[in-house]
Structure 1
Amino acid sequence: MRAEALALRLAELAGTGEGDLRSLVGEFRRSEVLVPVVEGALLSVATGPVRWLFAFTSVEALEVFARQRGEVVDEWVPVFGARLVDQVIPDIGGPVGVAVDVGSPAGMVLPPVAGIVPDAVALDGAGAAV
């Protein structure tokens, strides 16, 4: 499933400031997003104790982000949101969230908290310090 429905929900949320966040997380989990790869690693950034993976709903959104950063991103992997949060994030270790469509008006973050990422790696879960 492509991420058009997710992009639409993000745009609606950005436009109105209202939306069902639980539904948005569900849409993310069902969507195939693009995760940029730079020098053989998933592109991420650390802010404090949290590492943020970048995910995009389209090649166009990814390209806008790369231009804004002055970065060349010519490789990405398609991955379903559920796989990203349930399998990839726990393998990274520590608190890891997802920044979706960063650089666009509809960008948002999915923080590393219980209900979004597995409890064992959530900031507020049993496996991570708050």
Structure 2
Amino acid sequence: MELAAEISAYRDGRGDPGRLVGEFRRAVLLAPLADGPDGGLMSAVSGGIRWLYAFTDEEALARFAEARGESGREWPYLAILGARLVDAVVPQVEGPAGVAVNVADEDGSMLFPPVAGIVPDACAVDIADDVEPDARTHGVVA
């Protein structure tokens, strides 16, 4: 099943968090590039977490551009595996970071927060030194 379908199933109460995270990690996502001198990937900070924007396809990215009132410009993006985004990019971000997928889709968006099972343990905000890895859960947020 593709990521958008897994998100839909999860939001409808039929999904499995482990399967959703697995599909997220396998999916090729479109991460728009930020404007400005610093470059990098487009993101926003909310609740003390930097959320990297990612989209399942060009149509989802176009809905995001439209929602921002910026559909008339070119939107360069990086095609990247979800696993690479959380395993290689998130550790480079200063402070907690997660991934916001399809944020302009009211019924199809999903947040993958900086918690164990999604991001590397060193970047997870929910890991205490005394917590066993088997006691962790997947923290996806619809």
- TM-score range (shorter-chain normalised) is 0.7 to 0.9
> Using a 3 Å threshold, how does the CA distance of structure 1 residues 59 and 48 change in structure 2: closer, same or farther?
same
2:13 is the alignment partner of 1:17: yes
Higher helix proportion = 1
1:36-92: CA deviations, max 9, x gaps?
112132110001321000110000001101110123451000000000000100011
Q: Quick check: 2:114–2:124 contact (8 Å CA) kept in 1? A: yes
TM normalised by structure 1 equals 0.87
Q: Give SS of 1:38's match.
A: coil
> Which deviates the most, 58-67 or 118-127?
118-127
Structural mapping, 1:97-112, within 5 Å = 97-104=98-105, 105-112=107-114
Match of 1:124 in 2: 126
Q: State the distance in 2 between where 1:98 and 1:46 align.
A: 11
Any gaps of 5 or more consecutive residues in structure 2? 130-142
Structural mapping, 1:1-130, within 5 Å = 5-14=2-11, 16-39=12-35, 40-71=39-70, 72=73, 74-104=75-105, 105-125=107-127
Q: State the distance in 2 between where 1:9 and 1:36 align.
A: 22
Higher strand proportion = 1
Q: State the distance in 1 between where 2:74 and 2:90 align.
A: 21
Q: Quick check: 1:93–1:121 contact (8 Å CA) kept in 2? A: no
CA RMSD of aligned residues (A): 1.7
Structure 1 residue 10 displacement after superposition: 1.5
* Percent of aligned positions that are identical: 50
TM normalised by structure 2 equals 0.80
Larger radius of gyration: 2
Q: How many pairs does the alignment contain? A: 123
